[in-house]
Amino acid sequence: MHTNLSKHVFQEIAQLIPEGSRVLDLGCADGDLLEFLSRTKQVKGMGVDIDEKMVLQCIARGISVFQGNLDEGLRDYQTASYDYVILSRTLQVVHKPVLILKEMVRVGKHAIVTFPNFGYLPIRLQLLLKGQMPVTSSLPFQWYDTPNIHLCTKKDFRNLCRALGIPILKEIDLWNRKRIPPFLGNACAMEVCFLLQGSSNEESLIGEHRFQIQTIL
Amino acid sequence: MKDMGTKTNVEGSVGIVTPKEYTFGTSTTPLTLESGRTLYPVTIRYETYGTLNRDKSNAVLILHAFSGDAHVAGYRTEQDRYPGWWDPMVGPGKPFDTNRYFVICSNVLGGCQGTTGPSSIDPSTGKPYGLSFPLITIGDMVHVQRHLIDHLGIERLLTVVGGSMGGMQALEWAIMYPERVRSAIVIAATPRLTAQGIAFNAVGRNAITSDPNWNGGDYYEKDIPSRGLAIARMIGHITYLSEESMHHKFGRRLQNREQYGFDFNDQFAVESYLEYQGDKFVERFDANSYIYISRAMDYFNLDEKYGSLEAAFRRTKAKFLIVSFTSDWLYPPKQSKEMVFALMKEGKDVSYAELDCPFGHDSFLIETERQGKLFSSFLENLYAH
């Protein structure tokens, strides 16, 4: 289930997170990202997943986990109680992506969102040339049995962040296991990763992140 | 006839177990209760399974619910038809694996299954305490268990685990003795009894005290208030099940007839079940214990005792696993989640599982397979580190 690409995304996420951070991983599945982050960055992590089997696997590997439904939001989570709230390859399956994004930037001082880029050229071409809903190795489902109900392109996501007033601190665009320049991202990235600023965090922008905002804008 | 074998070689069973007793407290060293009153001597009946390892790091304390007892697994005699109350959970190769862990379970203070309670003899009068027995709390039950754990020479328990009132005790263990517990598994529990919970207990107590045989709690060696106690148990049982499980189990079926007779011999299956549960309960439970233990649950309120739920959990050092059941309307998932978020707010290590299960509050006794997987995974990881 875990492709080399997702392992590579883990490494990219890890590079964004300082050692010892408090991390909340939404849609944590079997806890593999949190385990990776606690091994490489000694984070104090907590996962959230709706699936009992996944919860069991997290517990078996000693990852703290909360069995819950992301579509109910994070209303019982304290504002700014985590350094990083992560939504990795989960945005496309939630029913209320706007709610979850707003909640992520409330609960986290930063938010990290990764998702498969639906603007990836081969995906566009499948629709254009074959006239069929795209099926790829990272989105392997048929239209009728896909859990992915909110697919978007990199550009779509940037537009949403802008509309919600959520500052983007960093964008990472991946083609296979390589980073590619952000300007190629919307068409060429298979997977994208966004670092977003938490809403309680306006004052605490560190120099590096401020610089990145300027380069993006 | 198939060889029934002996109870000692039933696969996965701990076999025949013999309860033990420990007595402590004298007039100069009595047990001081949360109410300020004192009690001595205190006898605690307990069972153990498995072997305590050399560094005494493998001890698991199981905490029973309202009407439970120390007999959690195995059989007391060769003739026993049924094993202990959580037998699928405790034994060789089972979730609380007695090949690995040393499992302890004791009857609670105020109980009637061997631990000191209102039916015990008051040494100052030579008669059963009855209502002269002091009122007790969940904290007092835990305090008594700590004496037992001291007696067994265990410094730190690998885990404390219990459902319902057992979960309340597990919470108090983690709060009252943070250095003594590595982890707490809290199942189908609540941080406080709600008005609704108190109301159900009150009706149960009223049923008992309205029984003509109750006699102000002084009924020992006379006719016992069996009807009142049976009705109390029937009310309890309704709260332990869910609408769905009752519907599934009984529906609107009549017990002995196909069609209504429109006379008072009509009996629905659910009525018959409650009668049976009530009558069975009377054989093994003391009415005064019912009153005292239900009172202890009424008093249970972590916010009140410690200032707030957060303040209560601030002092804990245990790793928590909190489990609730979707169909439990007595202590619903909402109340478990409240504890989870209070623990998270205090930066404590907590996991939460909400099992989709139709059996209501009783799920913790019935759905042992999925719980078993959770608990064994949780413990294995903890024990390995």
Is B377–A59 a contact, with Cβ atoms under 8 angstroms apart?
A: yes
pLDDT at B275: 95
List residues of B whose CB lies inside 8 A of any A CB: 321, 337, 340-341, 344-345, 347, 349-356, 370, 373-374, 377-378, 380-382, 385
pLDDT for residue A200 = 84
Min Cα distance A90 → chain B (Å) is 20
Minimal CA–CA distance to A110: which of A42, A68, A168?
A: A168
Phi, psi of A187 (to 5 degrees): -95, -30
Contacts A65 to B, Cβ<8 Å: 351-353
Preceding omega of B19 cis (within 30 degrees of 0): no
Pairing of strands B59-63, B102-106: parallel
Tens-digit pLDDT profile for residues B164-201: 999 999 999 999 999 999 999 999 999 999 999 999 99
Contacts A–B by Cβ distance under 8 A: 52
Q: Quote the tokens at residue B156.
A: 């730190």
pLDDT in tens, B261-303: 898 888 899 999 999 999 999 999 999 999 999 999 999 999 9
**Distance from the B322 Cα atom to the nearest Cα atom in chain A, whole angstroms:** 9
Active centre residues of B (catalytic) = 164, 328, 361
pLDDT digits (tens, 9 = 90+) for A178-198: 899 988 989 999 999 999 999
Residue B23 and residue B148: Cα distance in Å, rounded? 9
The closest of B64, B87, B72, B60 to B379, measured between CA atoms, is B60
Closest CA to B133 of B301, B285, B304, B295: B295
Per-10-residue mean pLDDT of chain B, 385 residues long, equals: 56 92 96 97 98 97 97 94 96 97 98 98 96 98 98 98 98 98 98 96 98 96 96 96 94 90 89 95 97 98 97 98 97 97 95 96 95 96 91
What is the distance between the terminal CA atoms of chain A, rounded to a whole angstrom?
36
Tell me what pLDDT residue B256 has: 86
**In whole angstroms, what separates CA B253 from the centre of its chain?**
32
Q: Is B115 exposed, middle or buried (0-12, 13-18, 19+ CB in 10 A)?
A: buried
pLDDT number for residue A5: 62
Rounded distance, CA B147 to CA B25, Å?
A: 10
The two three-digit tokens of residue B380, written as one number: 């294995």
Q: Nearest CA of chain A to the CA of B56: how many Å?
A: 22
The neighbour count for residue A131, using CB atoms within 10 Å, is 7
Residue of B nearest to A107 (CA): B345
| B145: three-class secondary structure by DSSP | helix
Domains of chain B: 7-192+301-384 (3.40.50.1820)
Strands (E), chain B: 20-24, 31-32, 38-39, 42-49, 59-63, 90-91, 96-97, 102-106, 121-122, 127-128, 159-163, 183-187, 319-325, 350-355
Separation CA B50–CA B56 (nearest Å): 12
With tokens 């309670």, the residue in question is: B117
* Intervals of chain A under pLDDT 50: 1-2, 204-208, 210-217
Per the structure block, which two tokens stand in for B122? 């008051």
Ordered domains of chain A (ranges, CATH):
4-118+152-216 (3.40.50.150)
Which tokens sit at B47?
Answer: 């069972």
Bridge partners, B354 (sequence order):
B324
In this structure, the dihedral spanned by the alpha carbons of residues B209, B210, B212 and B215, taken in order and rounded to 10 degrees, is: 30
Neighbouring CB atoms inside 10 A of A97's CB total 22
Cβ contact B186:B322 at 8 Å: yes
Report CA torsion sign: B153, B157, B158, B163.
Answer: positive
Q: Which of A46, A68, A78 sits opposite B345 (nearest CB)?
A: A78
